[in-house]
Amino acid sequence: MNQHPHVAVVGATGAVGIEMIKTLEKRNFPVGRLTLLASARSVGKILKFRGVDIPIQELTKDSFAGIDIALFSAGGDISRAFAPIAAAAGCVVVDNSSAFRQDDKVPLVVPEVNAADVKWHSGIIANPNCTTAITLMALYPLHQAFGVKRVFASSYQAVSGTGAKAIEELERQVGQVVHGQPVTREVYPHQIAFNVLPHVDSFLPSGYTKEEMKMENEGRKIMHHPSFRASVTCVRVPVYRSHSVAVSAEFEKPVTVAAARAALLKAPGLDVVDEPAQKLYPMPLFTSEKYNCEVGRIRLDCALDNGLCFWVSGDQLLKGAALNAVQIAEELLK
């Protein structure tokens, strides 16, 4: 791999695409050249990288000649159509959609957990679901120490996980409610302002949503733990940025709060914020725009044997998407 690679961002004008560009710059990723790709309607828009104006180009099947690494965040349909074309052109794709996550030929990577899996890629590497990635930042170090069997979890997911239009919808609805105006909806099936929706992604015949099953399916693959089980309820909350997850985990080995805390304090990419007496615990307001996830409310679970409860919060546009993708690209250069 070229040590100063030609990098493309596909879906450059979206919420995650913009974070990818910022993250490449902030982490001093050794970009030799940057190409920004999006749909025809974004062509001609200008984004800045290292103080230089870069115009958006239209994504076509000929876009990938000479590109070394392409970070994709333009949705599953675009990824399915263009990632194989990019890989065939000799480019390594880091794909943020769900299109290839369960493909046995595609590594699914959280670098703090399974960086070594990057090595066996054949042109495409998948970025995990945002809620799964944030949860695993705290769960995996505990799994290493005690062996996780299963988790019960509820997510508190920010609207920016849906995209820029959802951020606008929350802003608009808050104004409408405050000013006594009728509330208008475009993105979500119900009002999101001053409400919570137990509905993220589409429903499956089982009654779970696709999002809810990602923690079990992707967790098994990332942790190399085929018997891992996760029962999850995913909830959309009126928060702009950063997902939070309440987790009850059951382990093979006996667990103590002190041993759990010791494992979490050593974990990369994770800060322990857990001083209830001082009212200190992770919150989306304070994890937004931070690279590290935060874990707190660490306590023995009173309903499970060898059980531990914890609360984890992290920026889903960063660790849940853009940062994780750039970290994968950093592994490619090692």
Residues 271 and 199 in one domain: yes
Residue 77 lies in domain: 6-128+321-333
- Which residues are catalytically annotated? 130, 243
CATH value at residue 312:
3.30.360.10
Residues 166 and 310 in one domain: yes
Global pTM reads 0.96
Q: Which residue shows structure tokens 């914020």?
A: 273
CB contact burial 88-113 (16+ within 10 A = b; e otherwise): ebebbbbbbbbbbbeeeebbbbbbbb
Q: Is 7 helix (H, G, I), strand (E, B) or coil?
A: strand
Residues 249 and 288 in one domain: yes
- How many domains does the chain divide into? 2
- Joined tokens for residue 145: 């120490």
Residues 154 and 263 in one domain: yes
Residue 145 CA to residue 156 CA, distance in Å, equals: 26
- β-strand pairing of 148-157 with 243-251: antiparallel
Residues 271 and 138 in one domain: yes
Note down pLDDT in tens along the chain; length 334 residues. Answer: 889 999 999 999 999 999 999 999 999 999 999 999 999 999 999 999 999 999 999 999 999 999 999 999 999 999 999 999 999 999 999 999 999 999 999 999 999 999 999 999 999 999 999 999 999 999 999 999 999 999 999 999 999 999 889 999 999 999 999 999 999 999 999 999 999 999 999 999 999 999 999 999 999 999 999 999 999 999 999 999 999 999 999 999 999 999 999 999 999 999 999 999 999 999 999 999 999 999 999 999 999 999 999 999 999 999 999 999 999 999 999 9
Residue 32 CA to residue 49 CA, distance in Å, equals: 12
